[in-house]
Amino acid sequence: MSRQEFLDKQQTKESNSFLFGLFVNYMKPSAYVESVLDINLQKLKDQGIKMIICDLDNTLVPHFTKFPTKMAFEFSKKVREAEMEFVIVSNNTNRRVSFFAEKLNTNEYIANAKKPFKKKISKLIKDKNLETHEVAIVGDMIITDVLVANFIKCESILVNPVIQAEKTLSKVMSWVEEKIFKRLSNENLIVKETIVEETLLSEEYEIL
Distance CA 139, CA 6 (A): 44
Instruction: Give pLDDT tens digits for 110-150.
Output: 999 999 999 999 999 999 999 999 999 999 998 899 999 99
pLDDT at residue number 206: 33
Residue 97 lies in a domain: yes
Residue 168 lies in a domain: yes
Residue 6 lies in a domain: no
What are residue 57's DSSP bridge partners?
A: 61
User: Where are the alpha helices (H) located in 104-146, listed in sequence order?
Assistant: 119-127
User: Where are the alpha helices (H) located in 28-170, listed in sequence order?
Assistant: 41-46, 70-81, 94-103, 119-127, 147-152
Q: What is the residue-averaged pLDDT of the chain?
A: 80
Contact in structure between 156 and 150 (CB atoms under 8 Å): yes
Residue 158 lies in a domain: yes
- CA nearest neighbour of 113 among 139, 93, 98, 138: 93
Tell whether the model's pLDDT for residue 198 goes beyond 70: no
Residue 47 lies in a domain: yes
Distance CA 81, CA 78 (A): 5
CATH code, 50: 3.40.50.1000
Domain total in the chain: 1
Quick one: what percent of the chain has pLDDT higher than 70?
A: 67
